[in-house]
Structure 1
Amino acid sequence: MYFGINPEYYEDLYREHLPKRENLLDLIKEAMKDERHDRIKYKNMMEMSKTEKIRKQIEFAYMDEGKHYKMFQQIYYALTGKMIDIPAPQVETYNKLIDAVETSINGELEAVELYRKIQSMLPNMKLRDMLFEIITDEQEHATRFVYVFSILDK
């Protein structure tokens, strides 16, 4: 959803801080890449899962990652007037589900830090609210993965 603001508006707004603006767009691209990566990883983890209870916890995060990717696309479009699509990255493989879950806990928490940085750089409340939703989802994913880890670590 493009806000109808001329892209030159942002050039004027960030003229003194142009590297910061470019950094924001780079961070959004990084976030999109991470969301694509995690969605693929979580699909693989669901296939590794032996119980429906664990699969459902992972599926929750899997569905959100797709939503987040689209939200980042909307944010990028709102800032630039351009749609972008990030190619699917290579995803590491795991022999044990618990190892994938452990790295997912850390990944979700690292995403929260990255997304807070992005949120602080956004120019309006609507975009910051979108990041707030993504951040709280990522925090919930970390909590769900801690729960899954506790089940698997018995």
Structure 2
Amino acid sequence: MSNNQQNYNSQHPSNLLINNIVEAMKDERHDRVKYYKMMQMTDDPEVIKQIKYAYDDEIKHYEMFQQILFALTRRRLDIPMPNEIEQYDTLMDAVQSSIKGENEAVDLYREIFSQLDNKQMRDMVFEIITDEQEHFGRFIYLYSMLK
């Protein structure tokens, strides 16, 4: 395999890979808005601290997926922040939804990871997966705090 093929996932990334990356970017945008709204649902500094950790990571993850997509396609894509997201009656409902969402994100990101040939891209996705697993743990902690 030539260097050029290694750098660009055999120069022809699958539609599934591209679609999965775009979906990941949408999810990161969505979750950033969701976590912002969750922080507004409480005045407990410990709860806010746990949510803010995930909130801050979402922009980093979005930018990393954006870089990977550009490296694969040579196209820039900017997903707008969603204007509307689902509403939650309680912070506990939002936390439970976030536990499920973080777990689903890990599954999607593992699929993306498995489709990449490039080590740098795989390393970036591995970092994102690790962060998402930490978010999952933080939301489990919040669930136990709020219960």
TM-score norm. by structure 1 comes to 0.87
Q: Aligned to 2:89, which of 66, 82, 95?
A: 95
**Are 1:116 and 2:110 matched, yes or no?**
yes
Asked if the contact 2:8–2:71 (Cα under 8 Å) also holds between the matched residues in 1, the reply is no
1:60 maps to which residue? 53
Aligned partner of 2:19 in structure 1 is 26
Matched, 1:147 2:136: no
Q: What is the CA deviation profile of residues 95-125 of structure 1, one whole-angstrom value per residue up to 9, with x for unaligned ones?
A: 2000000000000000000000000111211
Residue 70 of structure 2 corresponds to residue 70 of structure 1 = no
Residue aligning to 1:84: 77
Q: What secondary structure does 2:40 align onto?
A: helix
> What is the one-letter code of the residue matched to 2:53?
F
RMSD across aligned positions (CA): 1.8
In structure 1, how many angstroms separate the alpha carbons of the residues matched to 2:35 and 2:48?
Answer: 9
Displacement of 1:12: 6.5
Q: Which has the higher contact order (CA 8 A, sep 6+)?
A: 2
C-alpha distance in structure 2 between counterparts of 1:114 and 1:12, whole Å: 21
CA distance in 2, matches of 1:95, 1:86: 27
CA contact (8 A) 2:18 2:69 kept: yes
1:39 alignment counterpart = 32
Deviations 1:53-75 (A, max 9, x none): 00000000000011100000000
Unmatched runs of 5 consecutive residues or more in structure 1: 15-19
Partner of 1:128: 122
